[in-house]
Amino acid sequence: QVLSLVVPRQLQRVTQQALHSLFHTRSCLFVVLHVALQAAVFGEYTWEVFVYCWELQFHLLLLLLPYLLLAGNLGCFLLCSRANPGTVTKSNAASLAKVYAYDGVLFQRGLVCPTCTVEKPARSKHCSVCRTCVHRFDHHCVWVNNCIGAGNVGLFLLYLLSLTATAGAVAAVTAAFLIQVLLLSNVMHGTYLDAQGQEQPVEIPLLVQHLFLTFPRIVFMLGFVILLTLVLGGYCSFSLYLALTNQTTNEWCKSRRFGGSPHLPSQPRDRPLVYKNIYSKGIWRNLKEIFNPPTVLERKKE
């Protein structure tokens, strides 16, 4: 019995250590996985879909569109992963504190990061993975192995948009190829005999089964890319919403669960705290701030 209790505890400890090393330390594992998935998808697209579509005389620009989007995506990925997200140091903490006003709810003046021992500017947060405070902290992205902050949030948004567009383009060309195959084979107008020996028109499940038996890897790739496009599209929409309203993921999460937070010392006990986004300046100015972060001088002019 003692042994049966010790083994699960050791397994739990090993699992916790593995998860901590995976998500709480900087690692290139997800970057390698990201590149491997793209290589697998484009390998299948190149060796089968592109060749078949070329034989079917698809327009060359349509076939090259996924590669063009991939090139842009890789460029955004490299820039985003290598960019300084906005590291807060003892030398720049005082100047960064003047960029954004403290809202008195999520961000308060005078708070010192216990790890970096610097006064935290408004909209900043300490990243336990990078072990530094980041100005206008959004989140730590394991896929680019870097924090997302004021210095690279615009590049991250372009990375997301280009990645979604790349997956969508691959899915569109692949789906167009499979539809063209069905049209040329005339199988859509065929019939089959059911279990009772009755002649029935071919339906969509049978067409999918026919395509899977004929092009199993292409159909599997298409299903994966469609799912990826839907997931990325949802995350892209959320990121665009944050950009248009000048919020960060960190601020959005904190504001959602703020109703359960205790009162802050500066607030009266009988007055409930109400969070209000004071950083939104309209759609166009919010987008401008994403791609051209404000400086101290710009803040003073306002």
Q: 199-201 and 132-134 as β-strands: parallel, antiparallel, unpaired?
A: unpaired
How far apart CA 61 and CA 42 sit, in angstroms, is 16
Q: What would the two tokens of residue 24 be?
A: 């709480």
How far apart CA 302 and CA 100 sit, in angstroms, is 11
Terminal-residue alpha carbon distance, the chain:
70
Residue type, 144: V
Q: Buried b vs exposed e over 123-160: b needs ≥16 C-beta within 10 Å? A: bbbbbebbebbbbbbbbbbbbbbbbbbbbbbbbbbbbb
Helix axes of 216-244 and 283-291: crossing angle, nearest 10 degrees: 110
Angle at 137 between CA 154 and CA 144, to 5 degrees: 60
Known catalytic residue: 127?
no
Angle at 249 between CA 89 and CA 277, to 5 degrees: 90
Catalytic residue among 116, 141, 147, 236: 141
- In this structure, the dihedral spanned by the alpha carbons of residues 72, 33, 126 and 290, taken in order and rounded to 10 degrees, is 20
Task: Tell me the catalytic residues.
Answer: 141
